[in-house]
């Protein structure tokens, strides 16, 4: 494919923006080459400035579960934008979206809208510390909860892709109260609670780890965390920024039947516009200002355009079998990818849950960050380039997750599998 104009734009971008991008993994550092620049998008496709078309499995990193420029969402946004883009005052739209979320996730009795997943997680943990009167937070290696200082410890995702174990600029004192345990290792969590349970304010976890690739919780892991937090008086925070409405219509908590005290959300609830939220039990959320003393504010929080896109997206997902159709397509794709790797003699592990898919170039299934780190990133990079040349855009890192949408139909799945068979054969 000719990407001459994209190449020129990237050269110019590197002189204006760090690394030429507004978010690190977009720079293709983990897979080689340079990124293409998008001109427009439609359905399951991106079209770049050189007029190349790509079948998209990034989908803006998850929000676009209805695909790009969904007609209903676009029409609603067109109506909304004529009424103004931001008010800095309450709107009924916030209530509508809050009700839709609470109906899907009954654990959320009250909610506060913010503008990003990072804002949501940092705010939820500040609230957890205030509610418990404790200082320590427990997170899991390889789980990414945004770029707040206290959470950039063994953070997986883009940090792992860049080879940064943490980040310069984060003072040691800031992370001194952040404990870490291996994901899927309940014994390690038990030991940490035995040693410091009276000091732990909260455990924050991606209930499905989707920022070290895609790692599912082993049987009993989430239930065990719920039991330990309850026993020790700590709060359980589910980071469902990525998994919310992706692994189940009721989020991971709906899929696995484990109820957190607080939940953080983003991505899908904004329908492709910037958004985040945190919510949970009323007695906890009542501590948030102005109802209580825990301060948090945001100029664009509850933005009417983001609320509009989120409302239309969640309403569409509630229609009969819409979500199930995306999950079925994802299951067919995962099975086909696994079969194609086996047929080519390439060690590949395809993982799927709901509308999410992951692929590791590894000999055995991956259940932790330690195992994920030993997957063959060079082979993934070769596979990524081979797929891109065949018109399929995958997340440019083995430690990211693939996303499907309602726009990925039978023809798109078959196109992807044909490209994958050729790509596996090319790198075998």
Active centre residues (catalytic): 144, 239, 267
Of the candidates 161, 156, 167, the one whose C-alpha atom is nearest the C-alpha of residue 212 is 156
129 contacts: CB under 8 Å, gap ≥ 6: 135, 137, 201, 202
Alpha helices in 117-241 (DSSP H): 117-132, 157-161, 186-196, 221-232
Beta-bridge mates of residue 352: 357
φ/ψ of residue 16, rounded to 5:
-115, -25
Who's near 219: CB < 8 A, 6+ residues apart? none
| CA 375/CA 364 separation, integer angstroms | 9
Beta-carbon contacts of residue 51 (< 8 Å; ≥ 6 apart): 39
Query: What whole-number distance in Å separates Cα of residue 165 and Cα of residue 156?
Result: 8
Residue 272, CA distances (Å) to 60, 93, 323 in order: 7, 16, 17
Query: Contact at 8 Å (CB) between 83 and 33?
Result: no
For residue 328, the SS3 value is: helix
d(CA 247, CA 288): 29
DSSP 259: -
CB 62 within 8 A of CB 267: yes
Determine contact, residues 183/399, Cβ cutoff 8 Å. no
3-state secondary structure at position 230: helix
Report d(CA 115, CA 303) in Å as an integer: 8
Q: What is the Cα–Cα distance from 342 to 111, expressed in whole angstroms?
A: 46
């Amino acid at each position: 494919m000719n990407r001459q104009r994209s190449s020129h734009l990237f050269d110019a971008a590197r002189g204006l923006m760090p690394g030429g991008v507004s978010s690190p993994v977009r720079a293709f550092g983990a897979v080689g080459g340079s990124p293409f620049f998008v001109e427009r998008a439609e359905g399951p496709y991106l079209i770049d400035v050189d007029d190349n078309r790509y079948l998209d499995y990034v989908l803006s990193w998850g929000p676009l579960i209805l695909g790009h420029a969904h007609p209903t969402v676009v029409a609603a946004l067109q109506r909304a934008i004529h009424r103004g883009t931001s008010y800095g005052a309450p709107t009924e739209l916030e209530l509508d979206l809050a009700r839709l979320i609470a109906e899907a996730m009954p654990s959320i009795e009250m909610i506060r809208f913010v503008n990003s997943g990072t804002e949501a997680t940092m705010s939820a943990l500040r609230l957890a510390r205030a509610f418990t009167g404790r200082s320590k937070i427990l997170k899991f290696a390889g789980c990414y909860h945004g770029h707040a200082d206290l959470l950039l410890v063994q953070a997986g995702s883009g940090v792992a892709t860049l080879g940064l174990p943490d980040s310069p600029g984060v003072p040691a004192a800031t992370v001194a109260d952040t404990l870490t345990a291996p994901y899927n290792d309940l014994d390690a969590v038990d030991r940490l609670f035995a040693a410091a349970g009276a000091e732990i304010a909260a455990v924050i976890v991606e209930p499905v780890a989707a920022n070290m690739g895609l790692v599912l919780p082993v049987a009993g892991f989430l239930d065990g965390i719920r039991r330990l937090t309850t026993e020790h008086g700590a709060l359980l925070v589910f980071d469902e920024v990525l998994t919310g409405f992706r692994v189940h219509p009721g989020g991971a908590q709906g899929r696995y039947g484990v109820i957190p005290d607080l939940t953080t959300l983003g991505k899908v609830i904004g329908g492709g516009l910037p958004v985040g939220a945190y919510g949970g039990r009323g007695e906890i959320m009542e501590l948030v200002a102005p109802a209580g003393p825990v301060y948090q504010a945001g100029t664009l929080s509850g933005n009417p355009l983001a609320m509009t896109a989120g409302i239309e997206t969640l309403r569409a997902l509630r229609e009969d079998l819409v979500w199930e159709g995306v999950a079925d397509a994802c299951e067919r794709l995962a099975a086909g990818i696994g079969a194609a790797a086996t047929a080519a003699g390439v060690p590949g592990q395809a993982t799927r849950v709901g509308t999410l898919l992951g692929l590791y170039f590894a000999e055995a299934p991956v259940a932790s960050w330690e195992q994920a780190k030993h997957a063959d990133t060079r082979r993934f990079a070769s596979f990524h380039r081979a797929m891109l040349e065949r018109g399929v855009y995958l997340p440019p890192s083995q430690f990211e997750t693939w996303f499907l949408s309602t726009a990925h139909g039978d023809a798109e799945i078959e196109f992807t599998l044909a490209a994958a068979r050729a790509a596996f054969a090319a790198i075998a």
